[in-house]
Structure 1
Amino acid sequence: MRCWSPADSEIRLCGHGLLCCGAAWAAQDQAVSQLEMNGLRAAFHAEGDRFWIGLPTIGCAACPVPHWVKEFFPVPPWRAAEVGDHDGYLVLEWPEGFDLHSLPIPAYALRRRTARALIVTCRASPQSLADVQLRYFAPQHGVPEDTATGSAMRVLASYWMNRDLNDQLLAQQCSHYGGELYSRVRGELTWVGGRVLPAMVGDTHVS
């Protein structure tokens, strides 16, 4: 499968898209155990009302918080990590219970500073049912903010396990519409799961 951003840029890895595609096939009683996007294969299975994709576990490397971050966020994060190559991800962590909703969406000027998508995160407050919270920004790639980001959850599964959290997480994505994501690290595979609600059902005919 292939996915595009609203700015018509192809998305290298869209976990949300993979999850929804697998759920759509399952709804048609199709036996699907693997999905593929841009050469990356993902395992797939349904479990009750949740659907799961299994992606290769990815590593995170701690790094200093970049000096330019203060240009975009008035309250600075206290930790950072890089994931992947120069256009991979930059994880920024705020203290436990920090209100991620209060962070502004970075301007398109971010592309002058980094090609990495930003994953901002914190441990959830003790009163929350979630373990962690997150938001995802990639204006350089045509996505000012994503609603629910499976690829970011894959990254955070490794990041938070390195920070002494469980190998199973429930995350709240603090976007405008909100999202609830699950993860399980199982050796070489990181499973990302969630519920899928169909928005439209129809048939497409190509002549």
Structure 2
Amino acid sequence: MHLEFHQVDAFSERPFAGNPAMVYRLQEWLSDGLMQQIAAEHNLAETAFVVQDRSQWQIRWFTPTTEVPLCGHATLASAHVLLEVYNVPSERLEFHSQSGPLSVTREQGRLLLDFPRIDPQPLQQRLPVAEALGCPVVEVLQTKELLVVLESEQAVRDCVPDMAAIAQLPGLGVIVTARGDAHDFVSRYFAPGIGIPEDPVTGSTHCCLIPYWAQQLGKTELRAFQRSSRGGELYCRLEGDRVKIGGYARRVASGTLML
């Protein structure tokens, strides 16, 4: 069996920046175990698999160790591959996922994700978050991840977490964020418990970052930057119970997996 794959740097206009994702367009689903093995073989933060169902697309995402319910950058990468490699004739792609319907459209040269809004809630229990991050924290909130507010962008840059301690905290991972210097806000995302010590650029975490910072800053259109070593810029908008997350994408490799 031969399977075609495409590697895309999402949330970047240039190669070797943003967040790399592997994309497979399948005729039908492979077994869960085989898709997990393929994701482990590529060893990227996410490998996305898409299958067409009439005019819609089913999408699933796998880290090297587990399937996840939502992934922004690999959805952006999948849309880029369908539009630019397979020439799917659409200005709006509809994906169905474990997290419900998702769409991707073009806007001003960027691809725009339409994702569900997630409002973080104050954490009700005392957790050793500051100890795990190795820095003071201003506020801790919770969704499927922990959302930790730090005092400055510099504090986000300087954060050196204890990955073993981070993996013991509840949830999929830990988002650290602060008001930005040149952007409205910045963030980083650590998820060693699901095989991602630090994710370069994470679209899905902005489902909760956007409503949080929209409330803090009193605006619904925001520019964000994920302060990983690769880095990536995101164009964000809050629209009712949805968030729009925009960015660029660049295909850097294509090939064939031979099984």
TM bucket normalised to smaller: 0.7 to 0.9
For the 8 Å contact 1:105–1:145, the answer to whether it is kept is no
Helix, strand or coil: the match of 1:200? strand
Q: 1:13 aligns with which of 45, 70, 82?
A: 70
Residue 3 of structure 1 is matched in structure 2 by: 61
Helix, strand or coil: the match of 1:54? strand
Q: What are structure 1's unaligned runs of at least 5 residues?
A: none
Deviates more, 1:17-26 or 1:163-172: 163-172
Q: 1:71 aligns with which of 118, 131, 138?
A: 131
CA shift digits 1:176-204 (9 cap, x unpaired): 11111121111122111111011113467
Q: Which amino acid aligns with 1:3?
A: W
TM-align CA RMSD? 2.1
Q: Structure 1 residues 63, 115: closer, same or farther in 2, change over 3 A? A: closer
CA shift digits 1:98-126 (9 cap, x unpaired): 3312111431333333234111000012x
Helix, strand or coil: the match of 2:122? strand
Q: 1:33 aligns with which of 88, 93, 97?
A: 93
Helix, strand or coil: the match of 2:193? helix
Measured in 2, the distance between the counterparts of 1:11 and 1:22 equals: 18
Q: Does 1:51 align with 2:104?
A: no
Deviates more, 1:168-177 or 1:197-206: 197-206
Q: Does 1:113 align with 2:173?
A: no
Residue 60 of structure 1 is matched in structure 2 by: 120
Percent of residue pairs bearing the same amino acid type: 26
Helix, strand or coil: the match of 2:189? strand
Q: Does 1:185 align with 2:243?
A: no
Deviates more, 1:32-41 or 1:152-161: 32-41
- How far the C-alpha of 1:64 sits from its partner, in A, is 6.2
- How far the C-alpha of 1:91 sits from its partner, in A, is 0.7
- How far the C-alpha of 1:39 sits from its partner, in A, is 5.0
Deviates more, 1:19-28 or 1:144-153: 19-28
- How far the C-alpha of 1:29 sits from its partner, in A, is 2.6
- How far the C-alpha of 1:48 sits from its partner, in A, is 2.9
Aligned length: 198
Measured in 2, the distance between the counterparts of 1:64 and 1:38 equals: 27
Residue 49 of structure 2 is matched in structure 1 by: none
Residue 24 of structure 1 is matched in structure 2 by: 81
For the 8 Å contact 2:70–2:99, the answer to whether it is kept is no
Q: What are structure 2's unaligned runs of at least 5 residues?
A: 1-58
Deviates more, 1:184-193 or 1:109-118: 109-118
- More strand by proportion, 1 or 2? 2
Measured in 1, the distance between the counterparts of 2:121 and 2:99 equals: 24
For the 8 Å contact 1:94–1:121, the answer to whether it is kept is yes
Helix, strand or coil: the match of 2:200? coil
For the 8 Å contact 1:119–1:135, the answer to whether it is kept is yes
Measured in 2, the distance between the counterparts of 1:66 and 1:162 equals: 24
